Amino acid sequence: MIYTAHYASPLGGITLASDGMALAGLYFDGERDFPDLSTARKKDLPVFGEAMRWLDLYFAGREPDFSPALNPTGTAFQQAVWAILRTIPYGETTTYGAIAHRLEEDTGKRMSAQAVGGAVGRNPISILIPCHRVIGADGSLTGYAGGLDKKEYLLALEGVIE
């Protein structure tokens, strides 16, 4: 069973999804990859309270010093990319190519920045798994499921851009 809760952010509504124990999704309302949650039930869960407290701190311009339990569903490759995303420090960015290089070092297998981009784009837990911190090799702000305006806002909030 999937459970949901709603959070009102400065960027608009956010839907939180949980498997009952951990956060499984965080989606901007109306984003291009918003999943079908029509069978989910609204429920007040401790993980939702933790996620909302984390988001309150984050949107107040502070780096939270904790994380709610996360359980994103994806392939082994996606999980590896998302694990790297979680290591990008608050207020810093990296590139798709740098993530591909790190995966190559970890696995000994050749990786492409495009494959990394595909996995980053399928991140089901926006903001907490900070895919917004990944930019193009030329410093450009590239795709973001919630929209580039939201990516720009998040990076400005963290002091990366003005």
Report, as residue numbers or ranges, the catalytic residues. Answer: 131
Q: Which two tokens stand for residue 130?
A: 């900070």
- Residue at 107: amino acid letter: T
Residue matched to tokens 């979680």? 86
How far is Cα 66 from Cα 137, in angstroms, rounded to an integer?
30
Phi, psi dihedral angles at 77 (to 5 degrees): -65, -45
- List of residues 6+ apart from 161 with CB closer than 8 A: 152, 155
